[in-house]
């Protein structure tokens, strides 16, 4: 109970979709089709027994029933496979399923007809008739155990019971009262067993679907958690630690850095609120991502902290190319607008660019940081590139 309650609580907390009855029925039908071959193999034993009895008598009706039963089993095999193909291809299954059920019901009728014929042949002794009933129970239970959860037990038993009742009560077959009662109780018991197995199958199938969905949802949550551990939740860019891990993998590869800082961000927060500030950060992050997708698909972009972003360019050939990418980023940020933003809100950014190997990330970062502050001092909304040796060279924006 505790485990079930825990699973139900976990399922609810993970927002697992409700399981529809049609889905359970569909899964059981598919599973039943897969089991049907084993069910038909189990028919070999009772057919062999009845064939042996037929060989000991001169009654030709048994051979006719055996032939009909074999044809019926062939019809079951064909119709079940036809239904299976319809399920696999997404076609309508109503007609095919009904044909399959009719074949199963016909099989039950033929089993009952053979039972009645065998019963009159092997005599009226209660002991002999009890053996007869035992054989029939074994035969029918073997079929029930082969594929009960597909629902085929009910048309099969329905045909069997109807034919048996008709033979006893309408055609006045010569059976003792014990045999009649045994047959009645056997049919009732088999219906109860079939219903219980079917109910348990539905319950197990539903539980299996829940476990499968729970596993999928947990896998999604694991992927989401893994993603969140490496990305900034507000912008979707890498976080600081993830960027540092990626850069550490580049070894001595020349990797220019661009440091981008949103201008007057404190004033934006103070004037329009922190929610508006978060929207600006998210918009800048999206602008960086879209610009880099076009200009530098291999770039690594991260939110370094607050309103500060960093872009690493491991595939960048020269520092001038890095400066051009920085200029595109500056222009993209300066062009940000949104109909829901205050009319007076303007977003710009100052950028610093520095070049160096990935293994010297700290030193390159300090140069880019220094160049970015130089851009602030020069009036913001511009790009400044760090010279070799630590000096700065201003880069005049194309559209200030």
In degrees rounded to 5, what are phi and psi of residue 122? -90, 5
Q: What is the pLDDT of residues 180-197, one digit of tens each?
A: 777 777 778 777 777 777
User: What mean pLDDT comes out for the span 38-51?
Assistant: 72
User: What mean pLDDT comes out for the span 325-352?
Assistant: 95
Bridge partners, residue 303, by sequence: 309
Active site residues: 307
Give the pLDDT of residue 247.
94
Give the pLDDT of residue 398.
44
Domains in the chain: boundaries: 2-218, 240-395
CA dist list (Å): 305 to 240, 287, 321, 345: 8, 17, 25, 22
Report the predicted TM-score, pTM, of the whole model to 2 decimal places: 0.56
Q: What is the pLDDT of residues 194-212, one digit of tens each?
A: 777 777 777 888 888 888 8
Continuous segment of H or E residues that includes residue 395: strand 392-395
Give the pLDDT of residue 290.
96
Sign of the CA dihedral running 215, 219, 224, 228: positive
Enumerate the H helices of the chain as residue ranges: 2-13, 21-41, 44-55, 60-89, 94-121, 126-146, 153-165, 177-230, 240-248, 265-272, 274-295, 319-334, 361-377
Least confident of 84-88, 132-136, 254-258, 346-350: 132-136
Q: What is the pLDDT of residues 63-104, one digit of tens each?
A: 888 889 889 888 888 888 888 888 888 888 888 888 888 988
Give the pLDDT of residue 400.
39
Give the pLDDT of residue 296.
92
Least confident of 109-123, 232-246, 386-400: 386-400
Are 137 and 187 contacting, i.e. CB atoms less than 8 angstroms apart?
no
Least confident of 31-35, 170-174, 329-333: 170-174
Q: What is the pLDDT of residues 234-293, one digit of tens each?
A: 999 999 999 999 999 998 899 999 999 999 999 999 999 999 999 999 999 999 999 999
94: nearest Cα among 26, 23, 20, 24: 26
Give the pLDDT of residue 139.
59
Q: Which residue is it, tokens 């913001």?
A: 380
128 pLDDT more than 50: no
Are 395 and 384 contacting, i.e. CB atoms less than 8 angstroms apart?
yes
Q: What is the pLDDT of residues 212-240, one digit of tens each?
A: 888 888 888 888 888 888 999 899 999 99
Q: How confident is the model at residue 345 (pLDDT cuts 50, 70, 90)?
A: very high
> b or e along 77-111 (b: 16 or more beta carbons within 10 Å of the residue's beta carbon)?
eebbeebbebeeeeeebeebbebbbebbbbbbbbb
Distance of CA 82 to the CA centre of its chain: 26
Bridge partners, residue 392, by sequence: 386
Superfamily for 240-395? Answer: Reverse transcriptase/Diguanylate cyclase domain (3.30.70.270)
Q: How confident is the model at residue 129 (pLDDT cuts 50, 70, 90)?
A: low
Give the pLDDT of residue 48.
78
354 pLDDT more than 80: yes
CA distance 193 to 281: 65
Give the pLDDT of residue 288.
97
Tokens of 340: 């829901």
Give the pLDDT of residue 265.
96
CA distance 34 to 84: 9
In degrees rounded to 5, what are phi and psi of residue 303? -85, 115
146 pLDDT more than 70: no
User: What mean pLDDT comes out for the span 347-370?
Assistant: 95
Q: What is the pLDDT of residues 2-34, one digit of tens each?
A: 444 444 544 445 566 677 777 787 787 777 777
Helix (H, G, I), strand (E, B) or coil at 341: coil
Q: What is the pLDDT of residues 364-387, one digit of tens each?
A: 999 999 999 999 999 999 999 997
């Amino acid at each position: 109970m505790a485990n079930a309650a825990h699973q139900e609580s976990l399922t609810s907390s993970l927002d697992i979709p409700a399981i529809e009855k049609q889905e359970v029925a569909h899964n059981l039908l598919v599973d039943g089709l897969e089991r049907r071959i084993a069910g038909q193999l189990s028919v070999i034993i009772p057919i062999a027994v009845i064939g042996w009895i037929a060989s000991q008598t001169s009654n030709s009706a048994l051979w006719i029933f055996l032939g009909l039963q074999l044809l019926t089993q062939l019809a079951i095999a064909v119709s079940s496979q036809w239904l299976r193909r319809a399920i696999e291809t997404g076609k309508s299954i109503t007609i095919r399923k009904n044909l399959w059920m009719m074949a199963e019901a016909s099989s039950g009728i033929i089993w009952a007809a053979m039972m009645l014929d065998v019963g009159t042949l092997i005599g009226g002794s209660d002991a002999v008739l009890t053996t007869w009933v035992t054989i029939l129970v074994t035969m029918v239970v073997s079929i029930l155990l082969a594929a009960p959860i597909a629902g085929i037990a009910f048309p099969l038993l329905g045909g069997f019971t109807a034919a048996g009742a008709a033979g006893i009560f309408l055609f006045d077959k010569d059976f003792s009262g014990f045999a009649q009662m045994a047959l009645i109780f056997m049919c009732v018991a088999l219906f109860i067993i079939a219903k219980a197995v079917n109910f348990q199958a539905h319950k197990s199938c539903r539980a299996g679907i829940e476990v499968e969905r729970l596993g999928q949802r947990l896998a999604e949550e694991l992927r989401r958690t893994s993603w969140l551990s490496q990305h900034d939740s507000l912008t979707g860019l890498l976080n600081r630690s993830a960027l540092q891990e990626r850069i550490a993998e580049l070894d001595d590869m020349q990797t220019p850095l661009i440091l981008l800082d949103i201008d007057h961000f404190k004033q934006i927060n103070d004037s329009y609120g922190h929610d508006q500030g978060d929207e600006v950060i998210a918009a800048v992050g999206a602008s960086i991502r879209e610009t880099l997708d076009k200009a530098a698909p291999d770039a690594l972009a991260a939110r370094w902290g607050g309103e500060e972003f960093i872009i690493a360019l491991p595939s960048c050939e020269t520092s001038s190319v890095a400066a051009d990418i920085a200029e595109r980023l500056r222009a993209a940020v300066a062009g940000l607008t949104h109909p829901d933003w205050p009319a007076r809100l303007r977003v710009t950014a100052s950028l610093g660019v520095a070049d160096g190997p990935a293994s010297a990330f700290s030193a390159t970062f300090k140069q880019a940081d220094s160049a970015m502050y130089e851009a602030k001092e020069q009036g913001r909304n511009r790009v400044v590139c760090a010279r070799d040796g630590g000096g700065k060279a201003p880069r005049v924006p194309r559209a200030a």
